[in-house]
Structure 1
Amino acid sequence: MKIDVMSEIERGIEEIRADRLHGASQLSRQALEVLKLVIEKGSDTKDDFLEGLKNVGDRLIKVRPSMAPIANLVASLVYEVFQASKEKKLHSLRNLAYSKTEELERSSKISLEKAAAQGAGIIEDNDKIMTCSYSSTIKEVFRTVSECEKKVRVWILESKDKDKSYGKIMADELCQQRIFARLVPDIAIKDYITEVRKVLVGADSVLRDGSLINGLPTYELALAAKGKLPFYVVCETLKFNPRVSSMQVKSEEGFDLIPPELITGIITEAGTFKPENLAPRMKELDRYFGVFRTFFTNR
């Protein structure tokens, strides 16, 4: 690839690596935008094109290991392009790859909306919910609830990491939508947990064994809710990580690992799952990585 294209790709990867504001859903779509650079401006031979797509895809998968949607979307794209490469010429392969990125971006947004609608379905009129960190999915849940003309009051933990309060960002955005949001100090979780009826949090990844990776202080919130309140995760199935269990994971700084026994249910666009019942969905996602690994090994 040309030097200017590689520089653009490097900038895109670095932006994803450094981004500490946006969630996994948004950054996974940014990863697809980086792959579009390879698709549109990549090498002039089919083998070099596939090699370039593979190399950039590999780097994107590794850039934010706590965020499963990046790996899942990248692996899905590589899988589709690899399958088609056996019969298609380079021009047709580029067109297919580009169309697939557009399709994946659309489907990821639709999945988020459907998961949020499912999450909104468990919220009653005048409900009181506690959450933490910043989640575009949880924000969409509350927007959907508001559209249904149900009143909801939201307690949001400050979710401080270094000098940034992700809870305040979330609270400000909810207030802009005229949704009641009360900011709670992280150290006061136990003092305020008695004022709410349920806990809803987003996800960066749901691991193979049903464990959750999410921003601080999700683990402390889950512990506070244990035995007192239902603790729900709301996310797209794209956030399922079929490759890693809690015994293998190395969480990024600023993220918590929450064991499955603290989770009441995982609400997705495909319905609500118990943490112990994820195997069929995980297997479905893992097939993309099987081809991905084979592709890398054989080339």
Structure 2
Amino acid sequence: MEIKDIEQRIALVTNDREHGSRWLVRETILILRDLAQAQLADQDEQMRLLYSKGRDLSQARPAMAALSAAVGRILSVQGSPAAIAQAANHLLEEYETATKHIATHAEPYLYGHLMTCSLSGTVLEVLAAQRSHIEHITVLEGRPRYEGREMARALSQHGITITLITDAEADIFMPQCQAVVVGADSILADGDILNKAGTALLAWSAHGHGIPFYVLSETLKISSHRWSTDKAHLADNLSLLEEKEPEEVLEQPIPTVSVRNFYFDRTPYKLISKLISERGILEQQTIREIAASVQRNEQLLARTYL
């Protein structure tokens, strides 16, 4: 295995626009496992590489807390590269089975006519598992890259009746729904979530209509970050939302017109009816406790093999 191959895979994670967080988390775990399993002559150098590349991965996608959490979980293991490889395999197995547990805990809430947005592997698997209880799903298209179209296609292959709408039409169709269900790219330390831009507007619409707003997420996505309401921290908040190229929104520039293209937004905890994880319903105190553990792992990673 060449180190250049590892660096190329990290670059793919950093620049990816096509996959959801589940794929990115899995690839992050596999990169560390493969590096830990590499046959390098100098074990100390291999450990330095693991921590160096781990830091790169943990900082690759600010809005996707699971990447940093996965790195922290794996590299918090003390010992040899072999021990780290074993920790990566264990985490991968745990992560692959999490969705089944989420589906079990979510079953009482997912029925009738639902609404969702973006392309979430977790939401897709859970809705497919509950399809016998679901009559109809309205899917938002997800500008600017239209990943909602892929979500609609994937759900329809499970025999579910689908209506695809523009993001701006969500409030029109909201009264027809029993609930809104979305995934999360990050769960912040106080229970707010970061997800595809437009999720917050969907949550406010659901709140206005008195319709439940459910979030399906693995606990690995819990972050140590908090969203500050202080305007002095606006830049820190926006850095979590991953601003991308304006050309995705407007191909031909218009003189004197600026274009902003944030991929993610923040939905306040108060708008979330239930946050459903592989452990069951997550309460705010539990989220804070897990976030504190994540922060300890981050601090360990920051000071090891500098």
Residue matched to 1:229: 211
Q: Distance in 1 between matches of 2:168 and 2:152?
A: 17
Give 1:42 deviation, angstroms. 6.1
How far does the alpha carbon of each residue in 1:39-63 deviate from its partner, in whole angstroms, 9 at most, with x for none? 1336422321111101000000011
Residue matched to 1:252: 242
Residue matched to 2:141: 158
Residue matched to 1:138: 123
Q: Distance in 1 between matches of 2:173 and 2:293?
A: 40
2:112 paired with 1:103: no
Q: 1:45 aligns with which of 42, 45, 61?
A: 42
Q: Distance in 1 between matches of 2:151 and 2:59?
A: 27
- Greater mean deviation of Cα atoms: 35-44 or 224-233: 35-44
Residue matched to 2:287: 278
2:20 and 2:120 in contact (8 A); partners too: yes
Q: Distance in 2 between matches of 1:70 and 1:106?
A: 16
2:21 paired with 1:36: no
Q: Secondary structure at the match of 2:304?
A: helix
Q: Secondary structure at the match of 1:156?
A: strand
With structure 1 as the length reference, what TM-score do the two structures score?
A: 0.87
Residue matched to 2:66: 69
RMSD: 1.7
Residue matched to 1:181: 162
Q: Distance in 2 between matches of 1:291 and 1:51?
A: 14
Q: Distance in 2 between matches of 1:75 and 1:287?
A: 9
Residue matched to 1:211: 192
Give 1:284 deviation, angstroms. 3.1
How far does the alpha carbon of each residue in 1:65-86 deviate from its partner, in whole angstroms, 9 at most, with x for none? 1111111111111111xx22xx
Q: Give unpaired runs (5+ residues) of structure 2.
A: 229-235, 244-262
With structure 2 as the length reference, what TM-score do the two structures score?
A: 0.85
- Paired amino acid for 2:130: V
2:43 and 2:81 in contact (8 A); partners too: no
2:34 and 2:85 in contact (8 A); partners too: no
2:76 and 2:297 in contact (8 A); partners too: yes
2:55 and 2:301 in contact (8 A); partners too: no
Aligned residues: 277
Q: Distance in 2 between matches of 1:261 and 1:121?
A: 21
Give 1:121 deviation, angstroms. 3.1
Percent same amino acid at aligned positions?
Answer: 27
Q: Secondary structure at the match of 1:137?
A: helix
Q: Secondary structure at the match of 2:266?
A: strand
Q: Give unpaired runs (5+ residues) of structure 1.
A: 85-92
**CA shift in 2, pair 1:267/1:200, >3 Å:** same
Q: Distance in 2 between matches of 1:94 and 1:156?
A: 44
Q: 2:114 aligns with which of 129, 132, 143?
A: 129
Residue matched to 1:262: 271
